[in-house]
Amino acid sequence: MKKLIITIISLALLAACAPDKPKMGEDESYEEIHGKSKNAVAEIADPTKGLGQVKSVTLNTPLEQERIGRGKAIYEMKCSACHKLDDMRVVGPGWKDITKKRKPEWIMNMITNVDMMLDQDPEAQKLLELCLMRMPNQNVSIGDARDILEFMRQNDGEK
Amino acid sequence: MKTKANFFQLLLILIGSAIVFNSCKPKGPADVAMGDAASKVYVAPGKYDEFYNFVSGGFNGQMSVYGIPSGRLFRIIPAFSVNPESGYGFSEETKPMLNTSHGFVPWDDLHHPALSTTKGEHDGRWVFGNANNTPRVARISLKTFRTEEIIELPNSGGNHSSPFITENTEYVVAGTRFSVPMGNKDVPISSYKENFKGSISFIKVDPQTGRLSIAFQLRTPGFNYDLSRAGKGPSHGWFFFSCYNTEQAYTLLEVNASQKDKDFIMAVNWKKAEEYLAQGKGKKEKTRYAHNVYDEKTHSATSTIEEEVTILDVLELPDIVYFIPCPKSPHGCDVDPSGEYIVGSGKLAAVMPVFSFSKIQAAIANKDYESDFSGIPVLKYESALHGEVKKPGLGPLHTEFDEKGNAYTSFFVSSEIVKWNVKTLEVLDRVPTYYSIGHLSVPGGPTAKPHGKYVIAYNKITKDRYLPTGPELTQSAQLYDISGDKMRLLLDFPTTGEPHYAEAIPASLVQPNSVKFYKIEENQHPYAAKGEGQARVERKGNQVHVYMTAIRSHLTPDNIEGVKVGDEVYFHVTNLEQDWDVPHGFAIRGATNAEILIMPGETQTLKYKPEATGVIPFYCTDFCSALHQEMSGYLRVSPAGSNTPLKFSTGVIESPSPGAGR
């Protein structure tokens, strides 16, 4: 009984003393981004689409030229250091035929939600084992990722 | 029932030991914090501290950032001293930050941080700091935790009384510690009374950008200006400066500046000064001072030499300045949260006077003067006085306030913090410090809205408190809980440099605004390579510009040939990463400056002058990935005048020499 009272008191003290974790503002906390976050329960309804906010992508033919231009510019600034346009693996895999191997949703989720993909998606994890280099989060928006996808389609010979 | 009795026994023992402890004088390291102190400062792994503590680095010239209550050190922000660790003062972009009218000055002595306020309350935008030796004020952004601006102060002989800010950060004010002859005149030192003048700079702060400019300087009588605080609430529009050496001594100040019973607190009506300025009563004088600004988009600083300053002479313009007698060489001069009470701390005095702003105003209105000093009215001590704190301790220095109407004063000689009530002037509690406290800080303590909870002591001597490290020991701070009636020591923590003043601010006002990386799209550095396709090497005469990119885990280009002895090589390294906490570093063998650390999306430049031929390795200094050790390259240096063609690449394998690898 005595032990119990002391335990309760010390617990109460601890609870009263622990400083509240300050709010991060509108952004999610680091833990949320990197750990089990709201998307974590992400529906593995279709594992070939990967994990993230991109659930379905509409592809148009012919290719959207404006997107290609923007996608190429982002590729050159943020991606080209590690991904070549042929099939050669440098730091990351070459992009040739990527749109034939992967669903568009998977590609866009890999670009925009890379940390969760590397932690949970089996296909992304296979690539990590192969390259031994975590793909950096380059803070690409979903709209920009869509533009990059269009550029990849062009790179794979679509018209 | 037995259990309950036991519990009360335990409680009695605890209370009893608390009383015993509190009545003890400091004996040394054997005295320890008691009870649940450990749990009060414990911040569990992965959890955050409640407050940021911005602590001056003193003679290291930097500002350090600690967490409270844990006392953990997060960062040292380079301000007035070079920092080879980040390249501050060594990279081409940051060298202009340390330019002055004397040229490049690599060191200074930072004493006082001042957090920006709006309506007298912390707003979390900027922290200012002073350079004590070569007079300057710096503005540090609380978004990037970087020094964004440094302005030099002409006519100042040592910038101790600085920086102090008005209620809405309209002005940052900087008073000279040493009076000096104006205009760098060559005069005998013994002509002090005739030729030496004080100078108080009012630096205007642009409310949007934070940009600094010297609005005007007050020319004041020649003595030493020590510390200051702006009025707030009813006293907004006024400033209060402590002055010593009103004897106007110029040698052995220890004795000769301690002759008079009372020196002064100088009350400044800066709204009046603004009126004179608007009426064109200011005199423009030629001078020279540096104004250095760091641009977040070009990632580069520029230094401009300004050549004019506007002077308002308080001997010629009445009603700006009044003197209030204050016992024995006042040091701290602190205004309480209500703005009504001004505490003077005479370093050598047995009592601490508390002045009343409303009484000062009444005394001025009634011309209740005891004398004048060179024509400036000296108010009657009693007419300005709210009351004296009797027998507070020995050697009062600084006072901070809590949200409950209490003041906390540091006593250097008797090595203690004394808590007293501002209205009743009654001493309520005292605790020893280990040892010889200088400044102290209550979160929000100098503002209109203190957050209270803790007082932190910044001590001058640690002696036996820590494991010894030779003759030079660590400096330290001590954290006390002030939430109850009695102050309780919770924690000792070591500090870097010598801590003078410090301020603490709730993390919630700063943390959400912290920049995570610089957007590569917004990088306007003239030598940025925004994408590996832009990486290249260009020669302009004997200058070689390397536009280099860094991303995990390679540098591009990583093979460079065609550089010659006598060339100046500029490595402009752009970090292509766009994620939080992925800096890259760059260092090259034999560089006589430092390394550079490049934040994601940023471009920084290291200059390198090869002195001899050879193949020189360079590498990334910040462990960035599993293949960090591979992140490296070679620079080939050929003899001066040789014909080695300029050439650069990454990942290009040329046909191997026969027999290679055997």
When pLDDT is averaged across residues B440-454 and rounded to a whole number, the result is 98
The confidence score (pLDDT) of residue B259 equals: 87
- Per-residue confidence (pLDDT) for residue B652, from 0 to 100: 87
**With an 8 Å Cβ cutoff, is B524 touching chain A?**
no
Contact B513 A90 (CB under 8 A): no
Q: What is the pLDDT of residues B197-213, one digit of tens each?
A: 999 999 999 999 999 99
> pLDDT tier at A37 (50, 70, 90 boundaries)?
very low
What residue spans in chain B does CATH classification 2.130.10.10 cover? 48-249+257-513
Please give, rounded to a whole number of angstroms, the shortest distance from the CA of B7 to a CA of chain A: 7
Please indicate whether residue A5 or residue B648 has the higher confidence score (pLDDT): B648
CA distance B550 to chain A (A): 9
**Which residue has 């940052």 as its token pair?**
B172
Beta strand B99-100 with B103-104 is antiparallel
Instruction: Look at B530 and A77 and tell me if their CB atoms are within 8 Å.
Output: yes
- In residues, how long is chain B? 662
Q: State yes or no: pLDDT of A109 exceeds 60.
A: yes
Closest chain B CA to residue A27: B512
B625 CB neighbours in chain A (<8 A) are: 133-134
Q: Establish if A39 touches chain B: CB-CB under 8 angstroms.
A: no
For residues B421-438, average pLDDT:
97
Each domain of chain A, given as residue ranges in start order, spans: 61-159
The most confident of A24-38, A129-143, B501-515, B618-632, by mean pLDDT? B501-515
Q: Which among A21, A31, A81 has CB closest to B551? A: A81
pLDDT at B257: 87
Please, where are the H alpha helices in B150-201?
A: 192-195
> Cα B34 to chain center, whole Å?
33
Beta strands in B108-179 (DSSP E): 114-118, 121-131, 136-141, 146-152, 161-165, 171-175
CB contact under 8 A, A22 and B508: yes
Report the candidate in B636, B83, B656 with the shortest Cα–Cα distance to residue B75: B83
Q: What is the pLDDT of residue B659?
A: 52
What stretch(es) of chain B map to CATH 2.60.40.420?
520-649
Give the model's pLDDT for residue B11: 46
B281 exposed, middle or buried (CB, 10 Å; 0-12, 13-18, 19+)? middle
Give residue A36's pLDDT: 42
Q: pLDDT tens digits for B345-368?
A: 988 888 999 999 999 999 999 999
Mutation for testing the B interface, residue in A139, A144, A148 having most B CBs under 10 Å: A139
Q: Which residues are CB-neighbours of B316 under 8 A, at least 6 positions away? A: none
Query: Does position B9 have pLDDT exceeding 60, yes or no?
Result: no
Residues in chain B within 8 Å Cβ distance of A136? 551-552, 577-579, 582
Residues contacting residue B414 through CB under 8 Å, at least 6 positions apart: B393, B394, B395
- Would you state the structure tokens that stand for residue B105, as one six-digit string? 């000055």
Six-digit token string for B588: 């090259």
**Higher pLDDT pick, B433 / A91:** B433
With contact defined as beta carbons under 8 Å apart, do B203 and B172 qualify?
Answer: yes
- Put simply, whether B50 touches A (Cβ < 8 Å) is yes
Residue B394 confidence (pLDDT): 93
User: To the nearest whole number, what is the mean pLDDT of chain A?
Assistant: 81
Record: contact A80-B579, CB cut-off 8 A = no
Percent of chain A with pLDDT over 70: 72
Among B3-17, B460-474, B647-661, name the one with the lowest average pLDDT: B3-17
What's the rounded mean pLDDT across residues A106-121?
96
Does B161 score more than 80 pLDDT?
yes
Q: What is the mean pLDDT of residues A74-85?
A: 95
User: Does the distance separating the beta carbons of A22 and B48 come in below 8 Å?
Assistant: yes
A27: distance to nearest CA of chain B, Å? 8
Cα–Cα–Cα angle for B374, B380, B386, rounded to 5 degrees: 135
Query: Which tops the pLDDT comparison, A132 or B572?
Result: B572
Which of A22, A25, A136 lies closest to B577 in CB terms?
A136
- And the tokens for B603? 């471009």
User: Among residues of chain B, what percentage have pLDDT more than 90?
Assistant: 89
Query: Cβ distance B598 to B583 under 8 Å?
Result: yes
Interface touch A2/B3, C-beta < 8 Å:
yes
Asked whether the predicted pLDDT for residue B330 surpasses 90, the reply is yes
- Which residues of B fall within a CB distance of 8 Å from A137? 578-579
Instruction: Report in angstroms the alpha-carbon separations of B76 from A43, B73, B109, B147.
Output: 44, 8, 14, 11
Residue with tokens 């809205």: B449
Strand partners, B588: B618
- Asked whether the predicted pLDDT for residue B642 surpasses 90, the reply is yes
Percent of chain A topping pLDDT 90 = 65
Average pLDDT over residues B52-78: 98
Searching chain A, which residue's CA lies closest to the CA of residue B600?
A: A138
User: For residue B344, is pLDDT > 80?
Assistant: yes
Which residues in chain A are contacts of B39 at CB distance < 8 A? 13-14, 17-18
**pLDDT digit string, tens, across residues B270-297:** 999 999 999 999 999 999 999 999 999 9
- What does the block give as tokens for B639? 């003899």
Range list of β-strands (E), B464-512: 475-481, 488-495, 502-506
Residue A45: band (very low, low, confident or very high) from pLDDT cuts 50, 70, 90:
low
Whether A13 sits inside 8 A of B576 (CB atoms) is no
Q: Are A23 and B512 an interchain contact pair (Cβ–Cβ within 8 Å)?
A: yes
Q: What is the residue-averaged pLDDT of chain B?
A: 93
| B226 pLDDT more than 70 | yes
Residue B589's pLDDT is: 97
Name residue B549's beta-bridge partners: B556, B574
Q: Which chain B residues are closer than 8 Å to A32 by Cβ?
A: none
Q: Which chain A residues have a beta carbon less than 8 Å from that of B627?
A: 132-133
Spell out which residues of chain B touch residue A23, defining contact as CB-CB under 8 Å: 508, 511-512
Asked whether the predicted pLDDT for residue B30 surpasses 90, the reply is no
pLDDT digits (tens, 9 = 90+) for B130-140: 999 999 999 99
CB–CB contact A81 B578 (8 Å): no
Question: Which residues face A83 on adjacent strands?
Answer: A89
pLDDT band, very low/low/confident/very high, at B438 (cuts 50, 70, 90): very high
Nearest-Cα distance to chain A for B37, in Å, is 10
Per-residue model confidence (pLDDT) at position A27: 43
Residues 570-609 of B with CB under 8 A from A: 576-580, 582
Token digits for B232? 């707030």
Q: Specify the CATH architecture of the domain B520-649.
A: Sandwich (2.60)
ipTM of the complex: 0.77
Q: Which residues lie across from B301 on neighbouring strands?
A: B294
Q: Label residue B548 exposed, middle or buried (CB < 10 Å: 0-12, 13-18, 19+).
A: buried
**Residue B648 contacts residue B557 (beta carbons within 8 Å):** yes
The reported pLDDT for the residue numbered B20 is 40
pLDDT of residue A42: 44
Structural tokens at position B518: 């610089």
Q: What's the pLDDT band for B258 if we cut at 50, 70, 90?
A: confident
CA distance B123 to chain A (A): 15
Determine which helix (DSSP H) or strand (DSSP E) holds B103, and give its type and residue range.
Answer: strand B103-104
Answer left, alpha or beta for residue B465, where phi above 0 means left and psi between -120 and 50 means alpha.
alpha
pLDDT over 50 at A26, yes or no? no
CB–CB contact B50 A18 (8 Å): no
pLDDT at B279: 98
Q: Which of B41, B508, B603 to mutate to test the interface with A (most CBs of A within 10 A)?
A: B508
- Residue B491 to residue B469: CA distance in whole angstroms: 20
Percent of the residues in chain B that have a pLDDT greater than 70, as a whole number: 94
Closest CA to B492 of B467, B526, B519: B467
Q: Do B512 and A19 touch (CB under 8 A)?
A: no
Contact B261, B64 (CB under 8 A): no
How much is the pLDDT for A80? 94
Residue B579 to residue A19, Cβ atoms within 8 A: no
Give me the residue label for tokens 């978004």.
Answer: B143
Model confidence at B629, in pLDDT bands (50, 70, 90)?
A: very high
The fold of B48-249+257-513 is Methylamine Dehydrogenase; Chain H (2.130.10)
Shortest distance between the Cα of B594 and any Cα of chain A, in A, equals: 26
| Residue B656: predicted pLDDT | 60
User: Backbone dihedral region of B373: left (phi > 0), alpha (psi from -120 to 50 degrees) or beta?
Assistant: beta
Q: What is the mean pLDDT of residues B263-275?
A: 97
Q: pLDDT tens-digit profile of B87-119?
A: 999 999 999 999 999 999 999 999 999 999 999
Pairing mode of beta strands B300-313, B212-221: parallel
Q: Can you give the pLDDT at residue B469?
A: 96
Q: Is B285 left (phi over 0), alpha (psi -120 to 50) or beta?
A: beta
Is the domain covering A61-159 a CATH 1.10.540.10 domain? no
DSSP state of B611: -
The region of weakest confidence among A39-48, B368-377, B561-570 is: A39-48
